[in-house]
Structure formats: C-alpha cells, structure tokens
Structure 1
Amino acid sequence: MSCRYLHERTTTAAADAFQQAEVAVLPTGSVEQHGPALPLGTDLLAARAVAETVGDHPDALLLPPIPVGVSAHHRQFDGTLWTDPETFESYVADIVASAAEHGVRKAVVVNGHGGNSEALRRAARGLREEEVAFAAPWNWWSNLDALIAEELDTSLGHADEVETSMMLAVAEDLVRESALEAAEDEGGDSWGKSIQGASVGFDAIDFTESGAVGEPTAGSKEVGEKLLAHATDDLAALVEWLAEQDVDDLWPRGHK
C-alpha cells in the first residue's frame, strides 16, 4: 500500500492534494514507557499504522504525525517525553487550522494515547466554536471493546495484551518478546490506585513497577491483525461519513 504524508509532497503537489481532499487525517501518539518489552513509541506507531490505512483514500489527506503527547504521568520511567496539556492542545489546533487555511476544514485526529484525549477534545471544541474547522478526535481502539473482550477477555490497559498484540502486528521487530513475562510479573493488575473511592495513584509508578498493566504475555500477532483490520474499517467509515457532511452543518446549532 502506498502512503504519502503531506510532508513527503512538494508544495505544488500539496496544492492538488488539498484541492481533492475532504478530510485531513492527523495521527497523534506519545513517546513514553511501555514497560521493558514494548517500544516507547507504541502509541505513535499504532496511531500511525491505522492512519496510514486511509493513505490512498480519495477523501483523505495524511498530515505529519505528532509523536510526543501528554505523558508526564510516566516521567519516572526512562525515555518518556512529554508536553503539558495546554501546549499539546494549542499545537494540534494550530495544525488543524493550518490545513483549514488551505481549504480542508474537516479532520479526524487518529489518537493512540489516552492521555491526549482531554486536550484533543478541547482543541476540537475550540476549533468548532470559532468555525475554523471541525475535528473529530478518535482513539483507534474506541470501537473495539467487544472484539477485545471476545479475543482477549479484557479491556485496554497499558503495555498489556492489547497493545502487545497491536505491536506484534505493526512493529514486531521492536517488541522484546523475551521481556514480556517480566513486564507482567512486575506490572499492575489495573490502571490506577484508589483508597475508599479516592484516586491516589497519580503516576504510573504508583501502581506498576515494570510500567505495564495487564497480561502482555497473552498478546498475539493474530489478535493484533484483527484489531488493526477492525480499526481500519472504522476509520475508513468515519472518514467517509465526515467527507459527506457539509461543514456549515457541523458548527454549533444556534451559533451566531
């Protein structure tokens, strides 16, 4: 499958691409610890892999991926990079607004990191309120709960069987399979820590020594390929729906 990001085009080729496209597709992720077995770029690699599946879609234009996200809660683990939520929000909004200036005023943000979600939602709301662009934040796993439960009998954790499966499917050479057992043995059973209903686990180190949460040894390439295929179908359907919408109908109702 061919895939050409905006940054791989010349300015004249970009002019044609913006004229033809209806929806900008912006991958966002993180560079943060994913335990001893998975790469720091797990969230970025997953988001990018899913986004690239619409690289040839006639309605889509792939924008350059944003690698670093809102990840300060992983800062005690080596290699983690992060930015603050307000900076991330503004950066994403500026990129989507730039695409809108070139004529593509609808976007899907293909996100791979849960920590980005609140900032992405705020960015999308601000762009819509100002009638600059309509951006739909979309986590690649957001419509896969049933499949994850069926295949792995779990829900999404961190550096767990879900993310291990996805990495085995899209970046197998970066997975240290020999370290999966240690990741699990020294990991957490669930995300977060609470006492009497109060959340007291502010950072990942508060509830996982390895950085993993879940059962990464249960992951498999076969399941990862199923996750990727279903996420691909979901993204294509979302792009197609958004492409069909008149942008004027997407602004807030009653907006003056």
Structure 2
Amino acid sequence: MSLLHEHTTTTARDDLANTDVALLPTGSVEQHGPALPLGTDFMAAQAVAHTVSDREDVVCLPTIPVGVSEHHRQFDGTLWTAPETFENYIGDIVASIASHGVQKVVVVNGHGGNSGALQRVARRLRREEIAFAVPWNWWSGIGEILDDEFGVGITHADEIETSMLLAIAENLVREAALEDAEAGAGETWGKDVHGANVGFDTVDFSESGVVGHPTEGSKAAGERLLSESSEELDALIDWLCERKMADLWSEEHR
C-alpha cells in the first residue's frame, strides 16, 4: 500500500495505474471524556487503514480528521462541520481520486456521527457513476469479537474505544482518569422520555462525555480488535477487486 501524500505527481501517475482500491480514513476531533484523546476516532480509522500496508493494489488517501460532531459541542476541544459540508467534501475527494482512475473506494470510518452523510454521498457517487465508495466502520463485521471481549456493542469512549487506543496510541490514554471518566458516564447512548428521544447532545445523558465502562478496556483486547478489523478490511478490499465496475454500477450487483 502506498500513501498518496508521499508521492510526487509523476510517481503517483505510475502507482495509481496499478491501484485497484483507494482507502479514505475519516473520523472526528471530539471529546472522548477525560481519559481518551480528542482524535480517538480518526486515529483508530487511520490505524486500521494502515494495517493493510502489504497490499500493492491499494492507495491510502490522507485522513479526514473533522466530522459531524456538533452533538459534542458543549465539551471543550470538539470540532465539527455540518453534515452537508462533510458529505460534499468527501464526495469531492472521492471524485478526485476517481478522476485519476481509481473508482473503487473504501471510506474507513471511525465516527458513527459520520454515517448518515457517508451513506448519502456513497449513493450519489454510485448513481452518477463517479465512484463506488463503500462506507465501512472499523468495528463492522467483528460483532463476535466485541461480544466475546466485552459483551456489548460500541458506544462512546467506552471499553472498546479505550482498548483500541491502548493498542495504537497508549501514550495518549490518560489511564489515571479512566475511573473519573466512568464515574460520570451514561449507561446508554441517548435519553428517551415517553418514547421520544430528547438526548439531542451528549451532555444530556453523560456528565463526563463517556458512555460505557472504560475501566474495563485493555491493550490486549485492543490488539485483538485491530487484528480482526484488519482481516475484515482486507476481505472487503478483495471483494471490490474481484468485481468489474459495470457490475458495481448495476442496481442488481451482488
């Protein structure tokens, strides 16, 4: 795998001519409580994308760090952009790499708040036959591992994200703050009143900005998450490589 930003324009021309799939890591810069760094989501997505570095048919584009995160706005350090802005920006980047001949793209995403915008732009790019861009969250396809290690699905700054950060950037995890993070955490994402979701922002249901049990995270679990996620990404790339663009444009593609 090559990193596009390390190429010159002439070496990029030669490399992209032999590239089947582009990876575009996306995430966010947002609060993850007092123990995890603001860049947790984009760092995780980037780390997973880089695990397939031994592939010669893949190019990795520069990571897009800021995403759709206004619901964390009350917590210091959070950055965000509007869903429409994010959607259009991702669309422009994917269209750019498609113009150089790489029309198959995996958007390796690390932030759930980006999902709606990524689905919309993926549909548009396919409909207009610009690119086949697959939105893919790094925790997708590893439900058995999540259940085996934690017994729960991913929430926010929880034991799962804590484990991943311990595996990829241990020096940035403030382990002494994990207990405070958990003490002020919400038990579930959101807040319902008589069937209505009134938890518009994270502050509505979490004092610390955390949901879950970050003290239960571990580096060993994080390394397993990274490995399993890498295998899923590698298999997804294989799936894309095996298909012709004409089949991917089709409404009946499999």
- Determine if the alignment matches structure 1 residue 147 to structure 2 residue 145: yes
**Residues 12-55 of structure 1: per-residue CA shift (max 9 Å, x gap):** 11111110110010000000000000000000010000000123
- Determine if the alignment matches structure 1 residue 36 to structure 2 residue 29: no
Q: Could you tell which deviates more after superposition, 48-57 or 73-82?
A: 48-57
Cα displacement (A) at 1:56:
2.9
**Residues 202-238 of structure 1: per-residue CA shift (max 9 Å, x gap):** 0000000100000000000000000000000000010
- Determine if the alignment matches structure 1 residue 160 to structure 2 residue 158: yes
Runs of 4+ off more than 6 Å: none
- Determine if the alignment matches structure 1 residue 76 to structure 2 residue 74: yes
The letter for the 2-side match of 1:182 is: D
Q: Could you tell which deviates more after superposition, 37-46 or 13-22?
A: 13-22
The letter for the 2-side match of 1:183 is: A
Unaligned runs of 5+ in 1: none
Match of 1:194 in 2: 192
From 109, 112, 127, give the equivalent of 1:111.
109
Spell out the pairing of 1:165-176 with structure 2 (5 A cutoff): 165-176=163-174
The letter for the 2-side match of 1:117 is: S
From 122, 128, 134, give the equivalent of 2:126.
128
Match of 2:93 in 1: 95
Q: What TM-score does the superposition give when structure 1 sets the normalisation length?
A: 0.97
Match of 1:225 in 2: 223
Q: What TM-score does the superposition give when structure 2 sets the normalisation length?
A: 0.97
Question: Secondary structure at the residue paired with 2:5?
Answer: helix
Does structure 1 retain, via aligned residues, the 8 Å contact 2:26–2:108? yes
Match of 1:205 in 2: 203
CA distance in 1 between partners of 2:251 and 2:80 (Å): 36
Match of 1:12 in 2: 10
Count of residues paired in the alignment: 252
Match of 1:138 in 2: 136
Does structure 1 retain, via aligned residues, the 8 Å contact 2:167–2:223? yes
Q: Please, what is the CA RMSD of the aligned residues?
A: 1.0
CA distance in 1 between partners of 2:2 and 2:20 (Å): 16
Does structure 1 retain, via aligned residues, the 8 Å contact 2:30–2:38? yes
Unaligned runs of 5+ in 2: none
Cα displacement (A) at 1:4:
4.0
Cα displacement (A) at 1:252:
3.6
Question: Secondary structure at the residue paired with 2:17?
Answer: helix
The letter for the 1-side match of 2:222 is: G
Does structure 1 retain, via aligned residues, the 8 Å contact 2:2–2:58? no
Cα displacement (A) at 1:145:
1.6
The letter for the 1-side match of 2:163 is: S
Does structure 1 retain, via aligned residues, the 8 Å contact 2:107–2:136? yes
The letter for the 2-side match of 1:192 is: G
Match of 2:232 in 1: 234
